[in-house]
């Protein structure tokens, strides 16, 4: 790409003047640390790493970069999986990691205002004494800014919604250096265009989030976990539909394919080798928890579960979710020297069994190894495909492509929660049709020089 200019010594000096000498680095170690995310996309080096400390500095960095036509890639802690924060065209890697303070907690409003660099786990630790928490949980300790930029979701979305559903107000730095605020601290909002939701999920390609006011929920008084296994995927998904239809507001509703039970068990669970559902229920009273559990048990019996185990024991519950969260790392250990292509699609729940069957068949057809699990409550599925050489990588990419096309054809989406990044840009035309032109027009409107996270979201 020739449209961008290099980071010159003069630009480095200008950047130092904005953020201070302590918040800029061209050291190889820092460049390397910020060249790749947690996924399978190849690393690419930035020319300089800059840490913003204040919102105004972030805005000033963007303005400078815009003037000189230098790409800027925002960075939280690099836990993304689709290359969302890889500085594909070099330029400035703008880390928000040092903007990690809680600005204000509003306990009576169930809200908190934070800087973008705070990790959601760190935030929730600090909120514990208020009896409140921010529910979206992508597993890793992603930053709030990264979670909002990518609309991260995770296992509790079925009850509490994704990141986009838990933000009220943001401050955003635009490419031209303007610092705007969007939304308000009112839960209900109907005043003009929803710019909050335009920037959420735009992966730093339209602006950089410099502050956010989040919705919080009370820490549930009572929690319970359930593991139930089924003879077939279809019966497992019938159960998902029946549980949701019962009116129980289940907090997690996870599918573990038979291909993934082994990795889960190595991480601490004891799951039979069948299609399995993991559930979590949050309740305000013991009576509700007991009634919900009894109803779920009844549904599972009616749909023909081959095993059913429930626990309100906190330690046992934590082992279960730790195993679920670390299943990916377990897979990595089981495939030493290999990378894992982790893919993310989502479909209407009724299409879930067919998508699982299609995925399994595709994996077989290509003769690769594939593990499947997903957030069944919202139709989200992840297929994990280990690869150790170029031939397998090529096959894995074809498997990925086939499953993505299928998910879109079923009325679903190419990505439920990992975002588009580099990996899914090629599918945007199939998924959005002419609406992609509108997205391009909005990108051009807000970032006419295309400096903001280039190479992401929109196909080039």
Q: How many CB atoms lie within 10 A of CB 223?
A: 18
Q: How far is the CB of 77 from its own copies (least distance, A)?
A: 18
For its own copies, the closer of residues 267 and 372 by Cβ is: 372
For its own copies, the closer of residues 221 and 313 by Cβ is: 221
Among 246, 265, 311, 332, binds its own copies (CB under 8 A): 246
For its own copies, the closer of residues 318 and 444 by Cβ is: 444
354 binds its own copies (CB under 8 A): no
Among 8, 184, 322, 361, binds its own copies (CB under 8 A): 184
Q: Give the closest residue to 156 by CA, choosing from 271, 324, 37.
A: 324
For the record, the structure tokens of 289 come out as 């928890």
**Residues of this chain, 293-312, that bind its own copies according to CB under 8 A:** 295
**Residues of this chain, 370-399, that bind its own copies according to CB under 8 A:** 375, 378-380
Spatial separation of the C-alpha atoms in residues 382 and 82, rounded to whole Å: 13
Residue the block writes with tokens 């036509």:
69
Spatial separation of the C-alpha atoms in residues 401 and 363, rounded to whole Å: 12
Residue the block writes with tokens 């906190």:
314
For its own copies, the closer of residues 161 and 268 by Cβ is: 161
Among 115, 330, 406, 413, binds its own copies (CB under 8 A): 413
**Residues of this chain, 78-137, that bind its own copies according to CB under 8 A:** 106, 108-111, 131
Spatial separation of the C-alpha atoms in residues 13 and 21, rounded to whole Å: 9
Among 14, 30, 249, 354, binds its own copies (CB under 8 A): 249
117 within 8 A of 96, measured Cβ to Cβ: yes
For its own copies, the closer of residues 106 and 393 by Cβ is: 106
Please state the separation of Cα 192 from the chain's center in Å: 28
Please state the separation of Cα 177 from the chain's center in Å: 27
> Applying CB under 8 A, what is the total number of residues that bind its own copies?
98
Among 8, 101, 194, 298, binds its own copies (CB under 8 A): 194
Stretch of 59-67, 309-317, 358-366, 403-411 lying at the interface with its own copies (CB under 8 A): 403-411
Among 5, 121, 164, 325, binds its own copies (CB under 8 A): 164
Q: Give the closest residue to 404 by CA, choosing from 394, 395, 413, 416.
A: 413
Spatial separation of the C-alpha atoms in residues 247 and 335, rounded to whole Å: 41
359 binds its own copies (CB under 8 A): no
For its own copies, the closer of residues 68 and 169 by Cβ is: 169
The H-or-E segment that residue 92 falls in is: strand 92-95
């Amino acid at each position: 790409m020739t449209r961008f200019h290099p980071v010159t010594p003069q630009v480095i000096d200008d950047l130092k003047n904005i953020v201070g000498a302590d918040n800029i680095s061209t050291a190889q170690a820092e460049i390397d640390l910020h060249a790749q995310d947690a996924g399978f996309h190849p690393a690419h080096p930035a020319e300089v790493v800059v840490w913003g400390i204040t919102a105004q500095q972030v805005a000033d960095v963007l303005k400078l970069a815009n003037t000189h036509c230098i790409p800027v890639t925002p960075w939280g802690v690099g836990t993304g999986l689709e290359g969302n924060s890889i500085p594909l065209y070099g330029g400035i890697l703008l880390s928000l990691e040092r903007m990690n303070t809680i600005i204000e907690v509003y306990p009576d409003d169930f809200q908190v205002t934070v800087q973008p660099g705070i990790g959601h786990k760190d935030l929730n630790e600090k909120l514990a004494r208020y009896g409140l928490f921010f529910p979206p949980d992508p597993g890793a300790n992603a930053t709030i800014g990264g979670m909002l930029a990518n609309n991260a979701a995770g296992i509790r979305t079925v009850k509490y919604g994704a990141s986009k559903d838990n933000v009220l107000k943001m401050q955003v730095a635009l490419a031209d250096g303007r610092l705007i605020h969007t939304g308000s601290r009112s839960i209900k909002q109907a005043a003009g265009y929803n710019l909050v939701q335009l920037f959420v999920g735009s992966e730093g390609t339209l602006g950089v989030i410099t502050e956010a006011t989040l919705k919080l929920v009370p820490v549930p008084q009572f929690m319970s976990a359930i593991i139930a296994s089924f003879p077939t995927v279809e019966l497992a998904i019938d159960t998902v539909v029946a549980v949701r239809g019962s009116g129980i507001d289940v907090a997690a509703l996870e599918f573990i394919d038979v291909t993934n039970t082994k990795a889960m068990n190595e991480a601490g669970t004891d799951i039979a080798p069948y299609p399995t559902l993991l559930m979590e229920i949050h309740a305000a009273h013991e009576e509700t928890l007991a009634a919900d559990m009894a109803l779920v048990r009844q549904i599972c019996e009616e749909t023909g579960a081959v095993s059913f185990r429930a626990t309100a024991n906190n330690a046992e519950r934590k082992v279960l979710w730790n195993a679920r969260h670390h299943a990916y790392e377990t897979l990595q250990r089981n495939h030493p020297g290999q990378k894992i292509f982790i893919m993310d699609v989502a479909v209407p729940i009724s299409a879930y069994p067919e998508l699982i069957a299609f995925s399994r068949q595709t994996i077989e057809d290509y003769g690769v190894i594939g593990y499947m699990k997903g957030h069944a409550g919202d139709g989200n599925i992840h297929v994990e495909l280990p690869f150790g050489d170029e031939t397998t990588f090529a096959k894995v990419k074809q498997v990925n492509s086939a499953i993505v096309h299928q998910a879109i054809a079923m009325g679903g989406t190419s990505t439920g929660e990992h975002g588009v990044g580099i990996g899914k840009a090629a599918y945007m035309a199939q998924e959005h049709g002419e609406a992609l032109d509108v997205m391009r027009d909005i990108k051009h409107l807000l970032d006419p020089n295309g400096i903001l996270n280039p190479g992401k979201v929109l196909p080039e």
